[in-house]
Structure 1
Amino acid sequence: MDVVHGQGAQIAERVEAFVRDIVAPYERDPRLGAHGPSDALVGELRAKAQAHGVLTPHVLADGRHLSHLDTAKVLRAAGLSPLGPPAVNVAAPDEGNMFLLGRMATSAQRERFLDPLVAGRARSAFFMTEPADEGGAGSDPSMMRTTARRDGDGWIIDGRKAFITGAVGAGVGIVMAKAQEGATLFLVDLPDPAVRIERVLDTIDSSMPGGHSIVAIEGLRVSDDQVLGEPGDGFKLAQVRLAPARLTHCMRWLGACTRAHEIATDYAVRRQAFGKQLIDHEGVGFMLAENMIELKQAELMIDWCAGVLDTGAAGIVESSMTKVSVSESLMRIADRCVQVMGGTGVSGDTIVEQVFREVRAFRIYDGPTEVHKWSLAKKIKRDAMARP
C-alpha cells in the first residue's frame, strides 16, 4: 500500500468544515437510535460527503493512503461529531478493515472486498471476540473457539462471536477462526445465511452503525481464495490491523472530546451563577484548564505513536501506551464537561452526554486499560531480566 505524506492538514480542513456545517445539524435526527445511526441516515450523509469531496478522505483517488500522522489530523476533524466518522467513511471497524485489506489482500480480494468499502457502498465487521461465558476469545485471542476445517477446495467455519461491531447491515466480514495451521483470517460476503445475528446488545455507546451483536456462525463455507494471507497467519495479520486501529480510535474520540470541551466552555461563559459567569468560579475554570492541558497531551501522544508507525515499525508497545493514556485522559475530559454543565450535561440537549458514554466504552474496546498495562508490565519485566 503506497503512502503519501503532507496532505493531512489541507484535507482535515475540508473535513472539519463539512462535519461542523453539514453533519452536526443531523445530531438530533430521529434516525439515530440506541444501536447507532440507521443505514438510511449514513447513506444520506455519505452522499453529501461525496458531493463535498470528503468521502473516505484518508484514501486518495489513486489508491494511496495518508500517512498515520496525516490520518490523525483528518480523523480528529471527522470525530468532531459522533456522526462524522460514519458520514465521511472513517468509522470503526471499516477504517481498520480498509487498512488491513489495503496492506494484505490480493488484487482480486481488494477488488471484491476493499473497493466497496472505500467507495462507501458497504460496511464491514471484524469477527474476532467471542462470548466470555463460553470461555471464548475476548481480550485473549489465543482462547479462540471458532473453528475452520478444510472441506474439499474450501473451508467450513463454525463458532459464535460477541460484541461484533457493525455486523447488522455489513456487506463484508473478516472472520478469525482456528484452523489446523493456527488462527486464520477469512474474507466473507455478507449477508450469508450461515452467519446469523442472535441479538444486538444494548450497550452504553450508540455511535457505530449496526451496533454490537452476538453472532452464530454455523456451517459457513468459504473458498481458498477467501483466506487473507496464509492459513495460520491470523494473529500476525490481526496485529497489522490492531495497532493502527487502536490509534485511530484515539484520533476520532479526541475530536469528539474537543467538541465537548467547546460546548462546555461556551456554557460556562454564557451561564451566570452566584453573581458572575460560571467560568469565573475557580472550580469551573480549573476544570476547563485541565481539559485544555489533557487535550494537548492526548494530541501529542497520538502524534508520537503515529510517527512511530510511519517509520514502518509495528508500534505494538507504543499503541498500547497511547491507547491507555488517551482513553483515560479523554474519560476525565468528558467527565469534566458533564460536570461543568450540570443537569444540561447529563441531558440529550447537546452531544456532551453521548461523548461521555462513548468514551467510557472506549476504555474497554480495542483492549481494556488493564490488559494493555499488563502487557506493558510484561515488557518491563522482560527488559529488566535481559539486562546484564
Structure 2
Amino acid sequence: MYIYTFGAYINELTTIMIKARQILIIFLIIGSLNQLFAQDKEQKKLVKKINKANISNIHVVFPDSFRTNQAIDISIFAMQGKKTIISEGIVNNLCFDLESMDASFNNKGQLVVHQNSKYPNTDEIPFSIVYKKDRKIKCDTNIRLNYQGLLIVDYSQRNGKKGLNGEDGLSGVDGLNGEDGLKGEDGRDIEVLVRIEERITSNKLLCLKVMDLKEKSIRYYLSDPLFSEIIIKANGGNGGNGGNGGNGGKGELSIGYYTAVTLNKTVQPLVPGLPGGRGGRGGNGGSGGNCGNIKIVFSPEAEKYKSIFRFEISEGEGGKGGTRGECGQIGDVLINKVRYRDVSAPTKEYINGENNGTNGLNGRCNNFPLIKVEDVNFSILGIISIVNRIDGSASKF
C-alpha cells in the first residue's frame, strides 16, 4: 500500500507532466522531419512530372494580395493540352528561369522585385518566365509596384571567416594547430534623407536616399508609409570561429622482447609503446566588428511617419575558440612477430600539451541613431541607378 501526501502527489504529477511534454516535443520534431522529407519527395515528383510533360504554354498567377517590398509567392501554370500542372515554391527555381533586370527568384522560388527608379510614371516591372527544358516556351508579363511591406535597408557587414581545422598528425606526429578566425567587418556609416515623393500612379510615397559615407555610393528606396515598416541596419559582423586543432598521430610501432600478464589476464608488453603525437591547439576566435553610424534626416512633411522606422546598430560578437585536438594513442609493440597494443593511458604532458583557442572579443558600439528634421531636396525622377534587392531579408552592400 502506498500513502501519498498532497505534496508528494503534486510532485509526482508534475514529473509525469514534464515527461509527457518531453515525449510530445519528440513526436513534434519527428513529425516535422517527416513532413520535410515528404515535402521534398513531393517536390521531386512534381519536377519530374513537369520535365516529362509536353508543355505547350505557361502563365503566371499572382496571389490575391501581395506587397512588392517583400518576396511574393507566385504560381506558374504549365499547360499540357487541357491539363494544368501548377508549379510553386522551390519547384519554380528548378523548372523555370525568371528573366528581368528588375526582378528574380530567391532560393525559395519566390518573386523578388529589385527596387529602382526606371519606372517613375508607370510603376510597372516587366519580366519573363522561361521553361528551362524548352526555352521557346515563355510567358511575358509584368507586376505593378505598390511599395508596401517590410523594407529592410541593411548596411551591416560580413562576418569573419572561420579558421580552417588543423590537419591530423601522421604516426607519432603532433596534430597541426587550428587557424584563427578572421575579424568581422565594421558596420557602415550612412546618412539617410527622407522626403515625400509625389507619384502619378501611387499614393504619396516615402523616398529614401541612402548615402554610404565610406564607399561614396547612393541608393534610393520607395515605401508606402500607410502599409509599410522600415528597418535600417548598420551592425558589425561577427568574428569567425577558430578552427579545431588536429589530432595527434598514433605512436609508431616499436620492437619489444618480453610480455607480462596483468591482473585482468591480458597480455601486455613489458616495454611501453612509443607516445602518440600531441593534439594541435585550437584557433582563436576572431574579434567582432564595430557597429556603424546612422544619421537620418526627415523633411517636415515626412516627419509624421517616423514611427514606422526602426534601427539596428550593434557590435558583432566575437568568434568561438576552436577545441584542441586529441593526443594520439600509444603505439603498438611488436614481439616475436605478434603485434601487441599498449593500452596505457597517455601522460598528462600529452593530454594537456595544447589548449583550446580563446574566444574573440566583441566589437565596440556606443552609437545611437542621430535623427533630425529639416528641409530635404532631391528627386529620383530620371535616375537610372539600380537599388539593391529587397526580399524581406538582409541584403548586403
Report the TM-score when normalising by structure 2.
0.20
Higher helix share: 1
The structure with the largest strand share of the pair is 2
**Which protein is bigger by CA-based radius of gyration?**
2
